[in-house]
Amino acid sequence: MAFDAQPTRKFNVVGTRVTRPDGVDKVTGKAAYGADISAPGMLHGRILRSPHAHARIVSIDTSEAEKLAGVKAVVTGADLAMPEDADFADVAINCLARDKALYDGHAVAAVAATSKAIAKQAIRLIKVEYDPLPHVTDVDAAMKPDAPVVQEGRALENVPAGMSQNVTTYCKFGHGDLDAGFAKADKIIERSFKTAATHQGYIEPQACMASLGNDGRGEVWCCTQGQYMVRANCAAALGVEESQLRITASEIGGGFGGKTSTFIEPVALALSRKSGKPVKIVMTRDEVLKATGPTISSSMDIKIGMTKDGRITAARGELRYSGGAYPNFTVEMGAQAAFAAYDLEAVETIGWNAMTNRPKEIPYRAPGAPTAIYAVESVVDELCQELGLDPLDVRLMNAADKGTLSSYGPTFNDIGLVATLEAAKAHPHYTAPLSENQGRGLSCGFWFNFGGNTCVSLNINDDGTVGVVEGNPDIGGSRASISMMAAEELGVPYDKVRTVIADTSSLGFNDITDGSRVTFAVGLATIEAARAAIKEMCRRVAKIWDIDEDAVIWEDGCAKPAGPNAGTHPPMTLAEIAAIAGNTGGPIAGHHEVNADGAGVSFGVHLCDTEVDPETGAVKILRYTVFQDAGKAVHPDYVEGQMQGGAVQGIGWALNEEYIYGEDGRLQNAAFLDYRIPVASDLPPIETVILEIPNPGHPYGVRGVGETPIVPPLAAIANAVSRAANVRLTELPMSPPRVLKAITG
């Protein structure tokens, strides 16, 4: 769907900072999240998890647990169906293990009991006989031919023979003659990098309440980024039809990609089916960290050649990602994103995924991109240092622009990278003075953005108000943005529109809330649904006025005669038309169904000043500025919020956060005390500069903004720290011991 050819369009609602519709409930404690509802007769579910990194499950004896008073059901993997589709099967096996426990924390059995305390007691009575197997948790170790094999027979056909069976994915992107390109370079730098797995760190643990009868009909209430995805996973794992499951998405306490899969809902349904009662499962933080999605861990080699005046002549990257104990494709996105910011004659990126005995990777905000771009932008920065060049000028000289053949294949349309770099260069932050032990770093960031399958219904209510029904959980204020776009298009005030999120039985299929897609794709569908309603309202008015449909136009929330030839009818407001809809043909609604494309890629640039304490290796962030092309910013507050929140997640990834595994393959820091996400006192204000380069694929020029902001911080901070400490840092997180070791050698 094309950008409206209205370059001078004046928005009335879009671009303002209205109050969000779910706000009052959220500041008064009334909003109902995953764990906040209960049902009469409800049981409490609890899951038993493997203490081993890798073990064959010889037997599971549940008899003692079943005998405990108050226990109403016990389930194991045998109580779930085995879906034929490999992706569904992986989800089911991840919910409850079958023959093997694949990582520390893998679910092996579950109970439902009349109280939380009894459920907790009961799982201790389940006797699991394990046969421990050799394990591997490091990606480089997992790729060695003699590494312990996590799962057999999972490699894609294009993975070369002779590699470890852990290697499941191979991909390659690029164009041009690399040898010729490197031959033209005055300076070539090749470096290797490693990054730790990090967790999305949403504050609300996964929670659900589920009910499934022996007639195959079920209901689930849960916190998720996609109720239709939960339905599909549950239907496959339970062997029931999708139409029989109604999934309602609760308010969601953060996701960042981490709630795009299912962990507990099929288990709760299985327990409910067995017990005949509703079952609630709420994960503990320990379970969230051990068994829900961290992002990938990585090991990467980057080689870039540059002329002495700063032109990149060739670039090559090899990425080795581990997405945990299952086949995983995140490396493909990393390999595509790695060099996307640059206009390159010769570029190649190769990606591998290797299975390890870690939890199944679940997408985390721009999955795959932050690590790859961290490595690339670190090498670009080092080249600038070595050649004595300004790092912003070098980015500008090599920046991708409209018409650039991207490093991953497509040719770019209108993109905002150059404008974003120029904004960073013009900002006072870039030239502010620095003191001893301080350094300034910058990095570009990129994300593809996504459109996807989307349904919207828009109802004109009889009192002249408007109801929008959409199917994507609101994770950061999207209901406000959707209401704003409906109000804009219809020409009614924002507070006349109420947007709700449908359950799976009330609206057609919608892809999950991911890919920064909701404000773009649901917004687009909302605008089209509003246009369909407007068309119908004009048709009704044409009947009343007894003129041609074409002779009625919609302006300022009213139907009006198109011109003098259409007669001198006084305008009819939406409310007037709605009030008599019953006499003109019945209720008025508009709807739109689309698999939206044209999401429009997104670029950002982050500037960061750090101070390194040479005695402890501790890094302090002194100043941080985010520049990003947001397309049209529908609600600037929430655009800024995405930019700030993403930046701070990236700061955590760069400095503190990591999955730490012991020699025994067990996770050593499964608590917020030890898995330390940034707190308020760690941070300076996060300044933001929004650029609005319209996305040609959306009627208002909107593009997704949510994911790009987590991409640049890793390299921006690594570059700042490397400059402050006078030593190149090549491993994340840059925790104090690691920085101190780099300084002292």
Residues that bind other proteins (CB under 8 A): 17, 19-20, 22-24, 26-33, 35-36, 38, 116-117, 200-205, 251-256, 282, 284-285, 475-477, 635, 637-638, 640-641, 644-649, 671-673, 677-683, 685-686
Strands (E), 14-94: 43-49, 55-61, 71-76
CB of 577 to other proteins, least distance (A): 33
CB of 23 to other proteins, least distance (A): 4
CB of 170 to other proteins, least distance (A): 34
Helical residues (DSSP H) of 29-115, grouped into ranges:
63-67, 86-95
CB of 606 to other proteins, least distance (A): 12
CB of 101 to other proteins, least distance (A): 24
CB of 637 to other proteins, least distance (A): 4
CB of 416 to other proteins, least distance (A): 22
Using the minimum distance from each CB to other proteins, give the nearer residue, 245 or 655.
655
Residue 244 exposed, middle or buried by CB count within 10 Å (0-12, 13-18, 19+): middle
CB 251 within 8 A of CB 30: no
In the sheet with 558-561, reading across from the earlier edge strand, the strands are 552-555, 558-561, 572-573
CA distance 243 to 385: 60
Using the minimum distance from each CB to other proteins, give the nearer residue, 192 or 668.
668
- The vertex-389 CA angle with 386 and 392, nearest 5°, equals 125
* Residue 496 tokens, joined: 């006349």
Q: What is the 3-state secondary structure (H, E, C) of 121-185?
A: HHHHCCEEEEEECCCCCCHHHHHCCCCCCCCCCCCCCCCCCCCCCCEEEEEEEEECCHHHHHHCC
C-alpha distances (whole Å) from 464 to each of 174, 381, 486, 496, 574 are 54, 57, 13, 8, 6
Using the minimum distance from each CB to other proteins, give the nearer residue, 174 or 652.
652
> Between 86-95 and 227-238, two packed helices, what is the crossing angle to 10 degrees?
80
CB of 193 to other proteins, least distance (A): 25
Using the minimum distance from each CB to other proteins, give the nearer residue, 493 or 587.
493
In the block, residue with structure tokens 């795959």 = 368
Using the minimum distance from each CB to other proteins, give the nearer residue, 291 or 541.
291
Provide the 8-state DSSP code for 388. T
Using the minimum distance from each CB to other proteins, give the nearer residue, 333 or 643.
643
Alpha carbon 371 to its chain's center: 15
151-187 b/e with 16+ CB inside 10 Å = b? Answer: beebbeeebeeebbbbbbbbbebbebebeebbeebee
CB of 20 to other proteins, least distance (A): 7
CB of 375 to other proteins, least distance (A): 24
Query: Of 706, 636, 687, which is closest to residue 17 (Cα–Cα)?
Result: 636
Using the minimum distance from each CB to other proteins, give the nearer residue, 87 or 637.
637
CA distance 635 to 523: 12
Residues 6+ apart with CB under 8 A from 629: 415, 416, 417, 419, 420, 602, 603, 604, 691, 692, 693, 703
Provide the 8-state DSSP code for 424. H
CB of 672 to other proteins, least distance (A): 4
CB 660 within 8 A of CB 667: yes
Task: Say if strands 619-629 and 55-61 run parallel, antiparallel, or are unpaired.
Answer: unpaired
CB 741 within 8 A of CB 617: yes
Using the minimum distance from each CB to other proteins, give the nearer residue, 91 or 647.
647
Using the minimum distance from each CB to other proteins, give the nearer residue, 581 or 686.
686
Using the minimum distance from each CB to other proteins, give the nearer residue, 647 or 717.
647
605-627 b/e with 16+ CB inside 10 Å = b? Answer: bbbbbbbbbeeebbbbbbbbbbb
Got the DSSP string for 518-529?
IIIIIHHHHHHH
CB of 625 to other proteins, least distance (A): 12
CB of 279 to other proteins, least distance (A): 15
CB of 145 to other proteins, least distance (A): 40
* Count of other CB atoms within 10 angstroms of residue 213: 12
* Count of other CB atoms within 10 angstroms of residue 662: 11
Using the minimum distance from each CB to other proteins, give the nearer residue, 294 or 476.
476
Using the minimum distance from each CB to other proteins, give the nearer residue, 430 or 672.
672
Using the minimum distance from each CB to other proteins, give the nearer residue, 90 or 474.
474
Q: How many residues does the chain have?
A: 745
* Residue 502 tokens, joined: 């449908």
CB of 470 to other proteins, least distance (A): 17
CB 421 within 8 A of CB 603: no
Alpha carbon 232 to its chain's center: 19
Using the minimum distance from each CB to other proteins, give the nearer residue, 25 or 548.
25
CB of 280 to other proteins, least distance (A): 10
CA distance 333 to 369: 6
Using the minimum distance from each CB to other proteins, give the nearer residue, 112 or 212.
112
* Residue 548 tokens, joined: 């041609």
CB of 370 to other proteins, least distance (A): 16
Using the minimum distance from each CB to other proteins, give the nearer residue, 253 or 515.
253
Bridge partner residues of 347 (DSSP): 175, 315
The backbone torsions φ and ψ at residue 321, rounded to the nearest 5 degrees and listed phi first, read: -110, 150
Question: What SS3 class is residue 699?
Answer: coil
Using the minimum distance from each CB to other proteins, give the nearer residue, 593 or 682.
682
Provide the 8-state DSSP code for 551. G
Residues 6+ apart with CB under 8 A from 542: 548, 549, 551, 552
CB of 643 to other proteins, least distance (A): 8
Using the minimum distance from each CB to other proteins, give the nearer residue, 348 or 640.
640
